[in-house]
């Protein structure tokens, strides 16, 4: 059963993460669940026809090759690789590159692949489908251009049929132009960085993303279901088909509803047909029980099946109220969300599904229940995992509209900015890009709102308005009103167009946007054409705007990590939630060199919970949790939410021990003796602390309830010198076809205690049917080589990504470091 399995996974993972770093039992320290969600998607992403993964054996060259699409070009010396592929992360960090995109290079690259379409497919359609290519791509088949797409985040498809040589060898070529490599405020990557499919289909078939599922009037007794299917007739003559549906129960697998309808499609036209029916006693999709039904759509013609689609769908109800906030299935719920970008540290933007799986599981254990996909459509794997895990999604289309934002080149908010970006093609492509996002993602129950933009209204970047001259706007703006800048009223004009696109394709979710300059935007139509309004870092506007605009539904679309930002949500019923910046450390938006990226995440580059993640867990989790970190006592009495769990100092040094907890009261113990008085939880700062002289040994925090009974604990142990390496894999068996194992490598002392202050350089040696995708230590200032098998640990730890290469067998891993005992791991690869 999907729900019980997910529940067990989360419980097991929580237990492992909640074990402290005392070093008593190292195997429990790593915090990686052995078993994660096993399911691969039951339907390939194009959602029609017979879709075959098309990722293997591409040739690649990082150069703008003349005649790169021609069949007679010799590409035998080009690099042979499998997709997904991000060439930027393979580059060299350099201070002469743009800080906004992580001091890494872009460029122009060519991909080529030869393939044969069987002669038996003649008479059928042949398409190629890309989940994402960054960016300005152009696709060729046998030397003929079939289309261009400038947006690097949307999924798209081309019809190859007119140019296919059936029964013979064909050549597909893709030119990717990321020569403007300072075109984003964060890391983008470059290349065909998501999966690709070759699709065979009958001339009469379900259209791309052509099935639309919607549940209404959901009660405990029944749910009314509407399914619309668009059929594309490319046969050259009118066609009569029967469209049938079956919905199967998420637990029993039994068919609980079915329907069918005959429709006629004119030649070379598309026709949309809707059918409605009911499901009795629906098992609703929720955060705790993410039930997923299977919707089967079958198209038959003259009694013969010509197309079939299967996808998972959920039944749930959404309520947004200007006074009471947000309800899922009638249960009023605070949205505890994080914003995330699409990279994974040393892997760049080519991120395997298993990596996202581990990260999202960790965020949910932290107490997070929602993900904002900042600031673009992301990989289909992410949405599917959110469906399966029970995480809400804010799906976002754009970071800029008709004008480019500032892109920092020499460090975050430092120096003169650049102005490359997606604005160059917004006017031409925005309706299409937004519409494709809606069509692709609208059947995901996790998606609860559509965002048409992020901070496009940032005052004077570029839009301006006379209200910026007012002294009481509580939002400082350098220079005040700039009359030579674009008028802010344009925001309302564009928002009306974009919201119409969304509502023309889906009316089951609200349209929103993340406003950075709400004071200015309030003088335009922008917030008033939205269904719900996101506020970025303007919590001081919640109360007055709620009073002034009583019908406005308000939430924190982007907020800081601090206690005050959370209390503004927690203590105001009408504010339904927040999305903190950020969930996971990400490449780009870097500070002064050397800096790989932005380091405010609750998780680090390797997906491990950071101290501020423990702080967030103490605020959000329904379970009793506690954590301690330490640092030298500061002169300014600072209470940090970034205190690492280190207990190694000089004897007698005064150390500040900070505790993040949701326990009623906590006791601090040093070598079995209580330190000072037990302390109550501090609801003002979320942090309690003790200052004490350092003494080697075991430091432990014990959380208790109102009756003094222990509910949680966390302990640190002083370590000795680095002595050996330990390694633990999340999976001892992986599938031979690109299965992934994530191996945690830890430096420990002679007693097995983690050495947090270790900086040893570890080498990974692999034998067998596997390869190293990367070593990630999560050190933001380490801008060395991430393309070899050597990496220096950070806080005594790193993560190794090991991928199977296609054969069955055993992958043998050896991790070594000078003067340390090595660690060995064996991973079995099997066909599935």
- Residues with catalytic roles: 455, 558
Which three-class secondary structure state does DSSP give residue 292? coil
CA distance 754 to 800: 17
Q: Which of 233, 242, 238, 306 is nearest to 269 (CA)?
A: 233
Burial (CB < 10 A; 0-12, 13-18, 19+), residue 254, is exposed
CA distance 409 to 183: 10
178 neighbors 134 (Cβ within 8 angstroms): yes
* CA dihedral (465, 467, 470, 474) positive or negative: negative
- Tell which phi-psi region holds residue 348, choosing left (phi > 0), alpha (psi between -120 and 50) or beta: left
Rg (the chain; Cα; Å): 27
CA 661 vs. chain centroid, Å, equals 27
For 330, half-sphere exposure in the C-beta direction (CA atoms, 13 angstrom radius) is 7
Q: CB neighbours of 540 closer than 8 A, spacing ≥ 6?
A: 474
Q: Which DSSP category does 468 fall into? A: G
Going along 46-155, which residue ranges are E strands?
50-53, 58-61, 79-81, 107-116, 125-130, 137-141, 144-149
**Partners of 240 in the beta sheet?**
264
Q: Cα dist. 441→274, 387, 412, 428 in Å? A: 19, 11, 33, 22
603 neighbors 584 (Cβ within 8 angstroms): yes
Which three-class secondary structure state does DSSP give residue 359? helix
Q: CB neighbours of 431 closer than 8 A, spacing ≥ 6?
A: 497, 498, 501
First and final C-alpha spacing in the chain? 20
Strands 554-559 and 575-580: parallel
Which three-class secondary structure state does DSSP give residue 491? helix
Q: How many other CB atoms are there within 10 angstroms of residue 414's CB atom? A: 12
Task: Mark 742-777 as b/e (b = at least 16 C-beta within 10 Å).
Answer: bbbbbbbbeebbbbbebebebebebebbbebbbbbb
CA distance 289 to 2: 9
């Amino acid at each position: 059963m999907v729900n019980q399995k997910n529940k067990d996974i989360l419980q097991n993972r929580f237990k492992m993460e909640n074990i402290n770093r005392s070093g008593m039992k190292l195997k429990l320290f790593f915090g990686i669940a052995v078993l994660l969600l096993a399911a691969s998607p039951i339907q390939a992403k194009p959602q029609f026809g017979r879709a075959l993964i098309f990722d293997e054996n591409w040739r690649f060259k990082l150069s703008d090759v003349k005649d790169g699409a021609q069949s007679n070009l010799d590409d035998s010396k080009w690099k042979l690789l499998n997709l997904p592929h991000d060439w930027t992360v393979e580059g060299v960090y350099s201070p002469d590159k743009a800080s906004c995109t992580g001091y890494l290079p872009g460029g122009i690259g060519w991909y080529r692949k030869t393939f044969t379409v069987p002669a038996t497919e003649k008479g059928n359609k042949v398409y190629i489908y890309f989940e994402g290519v960054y960016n300005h791509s152009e696709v060729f088949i046998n030397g003929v251009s079939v289309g261009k797409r400038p947006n690097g985040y949307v999924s798209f498809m081309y019809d190859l049929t007119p140019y296919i040589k059936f029964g013979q060898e064909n050549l597909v070529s893709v030119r990717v132009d990321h020569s403007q490599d300072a075109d984003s405020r964060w890391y983008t990557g470059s290349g065909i960085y998501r999966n690709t499919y070759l699709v065979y289909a009958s001339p009469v078939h379900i259209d791309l993303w052509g099935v639309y599922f919607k549940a209404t009037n959901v009660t405990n007794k029944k749910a009314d279901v509407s399914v619309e299917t668009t059929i594309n007739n490319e046969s050259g003559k009118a066609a009569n088909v029967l469209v049938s549906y079956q919905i199967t129960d998420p637990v029993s697998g039994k068919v609980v509803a079915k329907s069918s309808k005959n429709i006629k499609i004119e030649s070379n036209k598309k026709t949309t047909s809707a059918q409605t029916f009911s499901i009795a006693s629906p098992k609703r999709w929720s955060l705790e029980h993410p039930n997923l039904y299977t919707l089967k759509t079958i198209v038959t013609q003259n009694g013969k099946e010509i197309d079939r689609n299967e996808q998972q769908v959920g039944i749930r109800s959404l309520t947004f109220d200007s006074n009471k906030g947000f309800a899922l299935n009638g249960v009023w719920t605070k949205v505890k969300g994080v914003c995330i970008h699409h990279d994974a540290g040393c892997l760049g933007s080519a991120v395997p599904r298993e990596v996202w799986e581990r990260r999202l599981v960790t965020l949910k254990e932290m107490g997070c229940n929602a993900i904002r996909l900042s600031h673009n459509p992301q990989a289909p794997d992410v949405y599917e995992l959110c469906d399966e895990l029970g995480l809400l999604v804010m799906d976002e289309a754009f970071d800029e509209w008709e004008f480019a934002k500032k892109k920092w080149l020499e460090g975050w908010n430092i120096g003169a900015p650049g102005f490359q970006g997606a604005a160059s093609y917004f006017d031409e492509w925005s309706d299409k890009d937004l519409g494709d996002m809606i069509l692709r993602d609208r059947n995901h129950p996790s998606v609860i709102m559509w965002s048409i933009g992020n901070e496009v209204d940032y005052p004077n970047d570029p839009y301006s308005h006379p209200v910026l001259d007012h002294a009481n706007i509580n939002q400082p703006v350098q220079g005040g009103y700039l009359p030579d800048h674009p008028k802010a009223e344009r925001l309302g004009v564009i928002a009306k167009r974009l919201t119409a696109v969304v509502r023309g394709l889906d009316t089951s979710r609200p349209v929103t946007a993340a406003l950075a300059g709400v004071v200015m935007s309030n003088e335009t139509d922008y917030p008033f054409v939205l269904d719900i309004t996101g506020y970025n870092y303007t919590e001081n506007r919640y109360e007055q705007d709620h009073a002034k605009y009583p019908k406005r539904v308000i939430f924190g679309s982007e907020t800081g990590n601090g206690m005050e930002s959370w209390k503004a949500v927690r203590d105001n019923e009408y504010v339904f939630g927040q999305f903190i910046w950020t969930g996971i450390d990400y490449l780009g938006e870097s500070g002064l060199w050397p800096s790989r990226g932005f380091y405010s995440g609750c998780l680090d580059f390797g997906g491990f919970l950071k101290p501020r993640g423990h702080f967030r867990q103490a605020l959000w989790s329904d379970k009793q949790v506690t954590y301690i970190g330490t640092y030298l006592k500061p002169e300014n009495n600072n209470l940090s939410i970034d205190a690492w769990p280190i207990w190694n100092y000089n004897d007698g040094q005064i150390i500040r021990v900070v505790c993040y907890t949701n326990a009623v009261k906590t006791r601090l113990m040093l070598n079995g003796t209580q330190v000072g008085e037990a302390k109550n939880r501090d609801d003002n700062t979320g942090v309690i602390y003790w200052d004490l002289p350092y003494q080697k040994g075991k430091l432990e925090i014990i959380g208790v309830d109102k009756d003094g009974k222990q509910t949680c604990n966390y302990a640190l142990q002083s370590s000795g010198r680095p002595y050996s390496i330990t390694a633990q894999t999340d999976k001892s068996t992986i599938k031979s076809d690109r299965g992934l194992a994530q191996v945690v490598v830890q430096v420990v002392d002679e007693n097995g205690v983690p050495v947090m202050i270790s900086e040893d350089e570890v080498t990974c040696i692999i034998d067998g049917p596997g390869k190293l995708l990367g070593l990630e230590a999560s050190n933001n200032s380490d801008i060395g080589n991430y393309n070899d098998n050597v990496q220096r640990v950070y806080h005594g730890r790193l993560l190794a990504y090991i991928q199977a290469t296609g054969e069955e067998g055993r992958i043998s891993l050896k991790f070594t470091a000078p003067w340390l005992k090595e660690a060995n791991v064996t991973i079995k690869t099997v066909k599935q």
